[in-house]
Structure 1
């Protein structure tokens, strides 16, 4: 069993901190240090982070996969649609170095809502009951990888999140 399986929650937290660090670094380099980051106390509304820059507030659900992983869908809570500019960011990372990228993005432009989840497939529980039946999870939808936009750099993703078109690496 790999370290990634044994310490998956540790790795998840580490990836989240690396991501936040990269966003804060961009804000620092821009010279404005205007990015604010918050985390919810309770995880029941479909987002992991709240980031704000100059009036643009993003509720972000983070997902991660290692480079070369075969996951083709992500599960998204429908409550994320109730947030003004909710989005899903699917981070890829290198298993050995933990370097981040590329970045997949599912969401609208700055201050625009999450695209509709109405047509998305209703997710099912991963484990069956005593009869093996996997019940539907009516508040969770499966989003196909093809519905995400791909960005090779964190700077490109930052531009999309906050509509900063004059930012370059």
Structure 2
């Protein structure tokens, strides 16, 4: 439920920004993110496949699992939202991706493992996920800057 609420908050911020800029857009949402993305947004001929990630503001994880299938998309990217657990308010934005029309930067990072071990204590490999260090994300101050990263600077 938390992830879905944050997805709606993300969409509200993005669509409000697009509307105030007078830009037409199209949004597609999938029920499953098996192809590495949660949302597709198309604006002015640029199609972005977006994987959304969320972390509580006091979270200490040093990496974020990223699906390798996202790298096959022409403008795949990752938007990470930091949020307040009591109110679900988004308190920070982070970005990982290329310019509009460019593929993701290199994803040849360490292969991710399941966070929980099986009954024998083994944490299985997740072959389609890579551990992207949180330090590789660009910290963004405002949602309008996320829009600029997604679709370029537009009035």
CA distance in 1, matches of 2:60, 2:32: 30
Alignment RMSD (CA, Å) = 1.3
Q: For the Cα contact (< 8 Å) 1:101–1:153, is it kept in 2?
A: no
Runs of 4+ in structure 1 off by over 3 angstroms are none
1:104 matched to which residue of 2? 94
SS where residue 57 of structure 1 aligns?
strand
Q: Which has the higher contact order (CA 8 A, sep 6+)?
A: 2
Structure 2 Cα separation of the partners of residues 69 and 128 of structure 1: 21
- 1:93 is displaced (CA, Å) by 1.6
* Higher Rg: 1
Q: Give the TM-score normalised by the residue count of structure 1.
A: 0.86
Q: Aligned partners of 2:55, 2:118: CA distance in 1, in Å?
A: 27
Unaligned regions of 5+ residues in structure 2, if any?
none
CA contact (8 A) 1:35 1:53 kept: yes
Q: 1:65 to 1:30 in 2, by over 3 A?
A: same
- Unaligned ranges ≥5, structure 1: 1-9
Q: Report how many aligned residue pairs link the two structures.
A: 155
- TM-score, length of structure 2 as denominator length: 0.94
Residue of structure 2 in register with 1:140 after alignment: 129
